[in-house]
Amino acid sequence: MIGQSELRINCVARAAAARPMRHAVACFLAATGVAADTADDILTAVGEALANVMEHAYDPACPSDVELHARFQEHARLAIDVFDRGQFVRRDARPGRGFGLRIVRAIAREVSIDTHDGTRLRMVFDAPVAQAVL
């Protein structure tokens, strides 16, 4: 793992932004040597967090920013924050939907949500390194 490694992304919260943001996180995880199976789990959780922002943070006619910060902590832990400055927009219930936060909680070691001035979802993962990275 590379000490003090950090990734910061800021995009307009549109559905099309989620895929490149996930790709950037995947590249960050690969560059820092996170084991592939762990990286897959982390990317699943990040995808769910981003989907929640895209669906619930803003009115589609007035999207604003979504930010993602990823940084390594002590003891091979990776903290990822996904946050927006929106207000929760309730959508019509649809069968088979609404499991995003349950999935995140099942994958991450720690999950916290702060709804002051938007929503900040913090996820902390165990992120063992598969190989040494120079």
Has residue 65 been placed in a domain? yes
Task: For residue range 92-120, list pLDDT tens digits in order.
Answer: 666 665 678 899 999 999 999 998 888 89
Residues pairing with 110 in the sheet: 124
Helix/strand/coil for 120 = strand
Query: What is the number of domains present in the chain?
Result: 1
Residue 30: domain span: 6-126
Q: Over pLDDT 70: what percentage of the chain? A: 85
Has residue 131 been placed in a domain? no
Question: The domain spanning residue 26 has which CATH number?
Answer: 3.30.565.10
Has residue 70 been placed in a domain? yes
Question: For 68-90, what is the mean pLDDT?
Answer: 88
| DSSP H helices in 64-111 | 100-107
Has residue 132 been placed in a domain? no
Has residue 134 been placed in a domain? no
Has residue 115 been placed in a domain? yes
